[in-house]
Amino acid sequence: MPSKKLVIVSLDAFGTEDLAYALTLPNFKKYRQEAALVEAVESVYPSLTYMCHTSIVTGQYPKDHGIINNTLLQPNRISPDWHWYTKYIKTPNLFDIASENGLSVSTILWPATGKSKSIDYNIAEIFANRKWHSQVAVSLLVSSAKYLIEKNHKFGHLRSGIKQPELDDFVMAVAVDTIENEKPDVMAIHLVDLDSTRHGFGVKSPEAKAAIERIDAHLGQLFHAIETTPAYKEAHIVLLGDHYQIDTQVVIRPNHLFKKARLIQTKAQNEIQDYKVYAKATDGSCYIYVKDHDAFTMVQLKEILAPLKPYIETIYNREEAAALGADPECFALIEASEGYYFESDIERPIIEYTNKQIPGVKLLKASHGYSPKKGKYTTMFMAKGPKIRAGETLASGRLVDEGPTMLAMLDLAFKTPVEGKVLGQIFR
């Protein structure tokens, strides 16, 4: 029986549209010749990193696995906490199942893995979002401390906090070293350089093209480590994206309108103190929450949001949002028109063009969080290994299909029903 080894590499913000160029690069090209490809993978809604990555490893939509936004609903905090911890996930995930079946697990900056009891070698994705926090301290608290200290001692010189592309350099060095030394049965690696670059420069910018070239170089490092480590001779290797991005020209901050309608109370510096109705942004879309289920109607919502009508593509009510896989506890979900995105704060203007250069202010040149039904917005999934048909191509799939499919590579499965299905066509 082949040894049960699985290496997962998440290429954050890599889309179907990137394949044409990526497959001309040496390591992508070589890998594709031995791999199966799902060309157009439909993401989840809202298509943000934490929801996507949790859907990948649970086979469930956000409404069921519980990670319904990157960040928590904390209106009174300028920098809210993220869903960093595994405790927020309500359903079984691939790492838990692998561990329960005696497999060792390593994750490197995989979202929502903080304080996981199933992961043997974990460097969790987290950052210091309080002035009195340090990056080292918060990482140690949520990761495998001994493992993190050892890898940071070896490779900490490669990174500069959480800045890219240095952070991905660190991640890949740790991944290679982990394969060669710890030899985990399941490894999941999260590379964020491309996502960060697109936010800063645009989807098809020269900088984004250069980030894809850096990914190819990292894959070369990883593939070499796998090929020269006998324990991984029969390993399955998966490359996947979580979402794509869309170029943006304008950021919209709807909470200004709720403040004007006296549905939000503020204190000094326009910080939100309390609310009856609150817009919780997910970039390309935006949740509307009504506190304590106060009497509030969709008619009222549409009246208040009327000044933003040119920027809003659709307003979904709670039932429609849940049917799309989003938070069933929201009052409504707003989808931005292409070229626009939302933010929750009211410290800056209600409408602002993203082509500005303002010290200390991050305005996104491209973003995600949009409906996965938007055109040319799919991502991709590739896999190679002893169970996989080399060269097989599927036209389409869903993000929720990936967890069940990867578990099948390990001869494992979810014990309880999930939305995702095994992509059986790519198997021998």
The pLDDT value recorded for residue 356 is 85
Which pLDDT band, with edges at 50, 70 and 90, does 162 fall under?
A: confident
Q: Report phi then psi at 310, rounded to 5.
A: -65, -20
Model confidence at 1: pLDDT above 50: no
Mean pLDDT of 146-160: 95
Mean pLDDT of 376-395: 98
- pLDDT tens readout for residues 299-338: 999 999 999 999 999 999 999 999 999 999 999 999 999 9
- pLDDT tens readout for residues 28-68: 999 999 999 999 999 999 999 999 999 999 999 999 999 99
Determine the Cα–Cα distance for residues 212 and 43; give it in Å rounded to an integer: 20
Report the predicted TM-score, pTM, of the whole model to 2 decimal places: 0.96
What does the DSSP assignment read for 194-243?
HHHHHHHH-TT-HHHHHHHHHHHHHHHHHHHHHHT-GGGTT-EEEEE-S-
What ranges make up the beta strands (E) of 241-311?
Answer: 246-247, 250-252, 264-266, 272-275, 277-282, 285-290
Q: Say if CB 380 and CB 37 are below 8 A apart.
A: yes
Q: Which helix (H) or strand (E) holds 342?
A: strand 340-342
Structure tokens at 208: 């984004």
What is the chain's Cα-based Rg? Answer: 21
Mean pLDDT of 371-376: 96
Model confidence at 2: pLDDT above 60: no
Structure tokens at 342: 């939302």
Quick check: helix, strand or coil at residue 333?
A: strand
Structure tokens at 184: 């985990």
What ranges make up the beta strands (E) of 147-210?
Answer: 186-191
Q: Say if CB 46 and CB 401 are below 8 A apart.
A: no
The pLDDT value recorded for residue 357 is 84
Which pLDDT band, with edges at 50, 70 and 90, does 202 fall under?
A: very high
Structure tokens at 32: 């594709």
For residue 221, count CB atoms less than 10 angstroms from its CB and return exposed for 0-12, middle for 13-18, buried for 19 or more. middle
The pLDDT value recorded for residue 304 is 98
The pLDDT value recorded for residue 3 is 66
Mean pLDDT of 161-183: 96
What mean pLDDT value characterizes the chain? 95
The pLDDT value recorded for residue 292 is 82
- pLDDT tens readout for residues 109-136: 999 999 999 999 999 999 887 777 778 7
- pLDDT tens readout for residues 74-108: 998 888 999 999 999 999 999 999 999 999 999 99
Model confidence at 252: pLDDT above 80: yes
Beta carbons within 10 angstroms of residue 360's beta carbon:
4
- pLDDT tens readout for residues 14-29: 999 999 999 999 999 9
The pLDDT value recorded for residue 247 is 98
